[in-house]
Structure 1
């Protein structure tokens, strides 16, 4: 592999961007691939067949013609470029990207981040990953030879990079649109070499936390290892990333809930007996509100008929979650106690996606529990400081532990490896 810079390095690149006007641009953007279900994918493509979801979640319709869905995405991307839907910017840039919903604003820098081993303590993951999503994203990156959507990094800011983000002027924006969800997106390009050098120097002594995109970052590193061996150093030694100063534009962290498939609430409560307190509550909202006032581990179990709060009043679950030589802060998190102790020991359920699913909202969790004859497990969000503490100590939270919002839109800025000349874009 190539030798990376000493610290955090976010490099300018020539972005591939839509050439359409503001009204259509909003119809071309979509959320990241891992929060889009089949119904939303269909709705996005019905609104505009060129929506970026066709690239990041390609169809398998081309298999009848001998192309897998990743080749379909590569073909669609090439065809869209040929007909002028996308064009590559003339000059390398770091891009200031802003999202606002009218109440809160997030703004950061999009660039090509130098990939680092977690042991370097520069880019810090905080969640475990699963092999399936990494294999899926790797096949897509190989077929398209590109990064189609950015990962989301946060860091403690202040300094030249933060100043650059704060000082852009509205009239200088190179793209602006509002998506159907009501979020306004704006983009600026920073191209002055001296300005970019100052930003680079500011970031070099810093480190960043992966807020969103653990599987894509793991994919970046797998592709780097594969192609550095086959081809030598190249643009794959970097990956598309949005870097946000959490001290100025800190994201919100939400819980990702669980669904125990095929086991109803009464059966789970029977298995939980003797481990912790169980408190009947009126509904999931009341349960989560009470959980927020509870010290130690707390989680809400719910189905269509009942809602029960689990409270680890005597720390029996938490004590069983401590691993010898492990990160102490990790054992204190609700999601760790759930997976280490409740799922595997107390409930005796295999800890895989077939038995313990994921839901990004209470409504989704309850609906999936009803569909599968199971139970929704509703969690409190993990505080950002706790996530950062676990990552800094080298710990890994269970997969799908945190939901950072707002998420950067896919389709606004893409990165083609062919658009970066020379090894690693130099």
Structure 2
């Protein structure tokens, strides 16, 4: 039984929604964030990456940064760039990218559901990244970025969302990257009650993107419980901001790999070793190979593409983790042949989201790296199978597009 709770969103006034909405804090570095902030005084990046409004040598994890984030958020509220709704609502958020749309319900989910495993994970988190967002949420007294959740589509929920989206939207704008963003407000109590009751019949929610934001939001909630021993469970800090999408709406992009060297081998030696685990096919010069089915991989080295097909016996199709293409490549090539045992920490490997395209892999392999691997995308069903099994995926297994914008909805903790 999943909890979905309406809330009083702090959100942009209608005419400024497109100016305020910004990409998540963790998809850009400080200099990129600073450039965005210099161009747009309304951008929510001034809250999510507040170091851009301080001296350039400031430590981005210092108390000064979190205090500045809080002050910037309060200033946006004071200036009525952001306004808090008078009643608890749910919201619908649609994004359209390259003709494909994904439509989710915006509300709050429960830290207890996260603790009990009703909200399921598929990635490990890093303590250092968690600590940053814990401080950010705690100082701001708010969830400033939503968690991207998915669930197995349910017809009755889809029907309600379809009726809501047939009405007049609250926001509709196109961001600089060409993605359309549309928001509807669900104020009707009967509709809100129907949706919250229908989610009680949903057995699991899955984190698609935002594992660190989710873990941090939960830890702040638990901290507030310790500070308020008489808490009832109804307080806002018991919940965190989420957008819930049906699985049928989502598409995962490929998450590709580039490697700095051949681990001391010549190309011919590398290919001979790979043949123990993969069928290897050299491709024509004009081919830029992107796999079109599971268990196939592209390899680019010396300005040439090869198609690799995993041989039988190199993976266990019944194991939700070992059958993933990212596992097959890691366990049969990147680790034993290239000597990269821990891709989380090894500086010889880098990862490139599919949004950058195959040409980016070629560019990197021809410049600062030596070879590249193009991947077939992990599916949402793969993600759910791994999460249901209680396991986690290898690092950099999924790349979701489009990214949820921050600043359209803020959830105050008290």
Q: Same fold (TM over 0.5)?
A: yes
Q: Is the 8 A contact 2:303 2:362 kept in 1?
A: no
**Cα 1:69–1:259, aligned 2, differ >3 Å: closer, same or farther?**
farther
Tell me which protein shows more helix as a share of its residues: 1
Please give the alpha-carbon distance, in whole angstroms, between the structure 1 residues aligned to 2:177 and 2:171: 18
Once the 2 structures are TM-superposed, how far is the Cα of residue 409 of structure 1 from its aligned partner? 1.7
Q: Which residue of 2 aligns with 1:339?
A: 330
Confirm or deny that 1:278 pairs with 2:315: no
Confirm or deny that 1:135 pairs with 2:159: no
Please give the alpha-carbon distance, in whole angstroms, between the structure 2 residues aligned to 1:216 and 1:388: 19
- The one of 203, 217, 220 equivalent to 2:217 is 220
Q: Which residue of 2 aligns with 1:242?
A: 243
Name the SS for the 2:87 alignment partner. Answer: coil
Once the 2 structures are TM-superposed, how far is the Cα of residue 268 of structure 1 from its aligned partner? 7.5
Q: Is the 8 A contact 2:262 2:338 kept in 1?
A: no
Confirm or deny that 1:51 pairs with 2:51: no
Structure 2 runs not aligned, ≥5 long: none
Q: Which residue of 1 aligns with 2:371?
A: 375
Once the 2 structures are TM-superposed, how far is the Cα of residue 368 of structure 1 from its aligned partner? 4.4
Confirm or deny that 1:105 pairs with 2:97: no
Once the 2 structures are TM-superposed, how far is the Cα of residue 373 of structure 1 from its aligned partner? 3.1
**Cα 1:8–1:61, aligned 2, differ >3 Å: closer, same or farther?**
same
Structure 1 runs not aligned, ≥5 long: 1-6, 419-426
**Cα 1:172–1:16, aligned 2, differ >3 Å: closer, same or farther?**
same
Once the 2 structures are TM-superposed, how far is the Cα of residue 380 of structure 1 from its aligned partner? 0.9
Q: Is the 8 A contact 1:334 1:379 kept in 2?
A: yes
Name the SS for the 2:154 alignment partner. Answer: coil
Once the 2 structures are TM-superposed, how far is the Cα of residue 393 of structure 1 from its aligned partner? 2.0
Q: Is the 8 A contact 1:98 1:187 kept in 2?
A: yes
Once the 2 structures are TM-superposed, how far is the Cα of residue 67 of structure 1 from its aligned partner? 4.9
Name the SS for the 2:54 alignment partner. Answer: helix
Once the 2 structures are TM-superposed, how far is the Cα of residue 95 of structure 1 from its aligned partner? 0.6
* TM-score normalised by length of structure 1: 0.82
- The one of 389, 394, 415 equivalent to 2:411 is 415
**Cα 1:339–1:72, aligned 2, differ >3 Å: closer, same or farther?**
farther
Please give the alpha-carbon distance, in whole angstroms, between the structure 2 residues aligned to 1:33 and 1:215: 12
Please give the alpha-carbon distance, in whole angstroms, between the structure 2 residues aligned to 1:183 and 1:138: 30
Confirm or deny that 1:18 pairs with 2:21: no
Where does 1:237-316 land on structure 2 (aligned, <5 Å)? Answer: 237-247=238-248, 250-261=249-260, 263=262, 270=269, 273=273, 274-282=276-284, 286-288=288-290, 291-293=291-293, 297-303=295-301, 305-316=303-314
Please give the alpha-carbon distance, in whole angstroms, between the structure 2 residues aligned to 1:390 and 1:17: 35
Q: Is the 8 A contact 2:97 2:402 kept in 1?
A: no
Q: Which residue of 2 aligns with 1:387?
A: 383
Please give the alpha-carbon distance, in whole angstroms, between the structure 1 residues aligned to 2:133 and 2:30: 18
Cα RMSD of the aligned pairs, angstroms, is 3.0
Q: Which residue of 2 aligns with 1:114?
A: 110
Q: Which stretch of structure 1 is more off in the superposition, 217-226 or 277-286?
A: 277-286
Please give the alpha-carbon distance, in whole angstroms, between the structure 1 residues aligned to 2:104 and 2:376: 27
Confirm or deny that 1:358 pairs with 2:351: yes
Q: Is the 8 A contact 1:99 1:106 kept in 2?
A: yes
Please give the alpha-carbon distance, in whole angstroms, between the structure 1 residues aligned to 2:268 and 2:251: 32
**Cα 1:17–1:287, aligned 2, differ >3 Å: closer, same or farther?**
same
Please give the alpha-carbon distance, in whole angstroms, between the structure 1 residues aligned to 2:286 and 2:384: 28
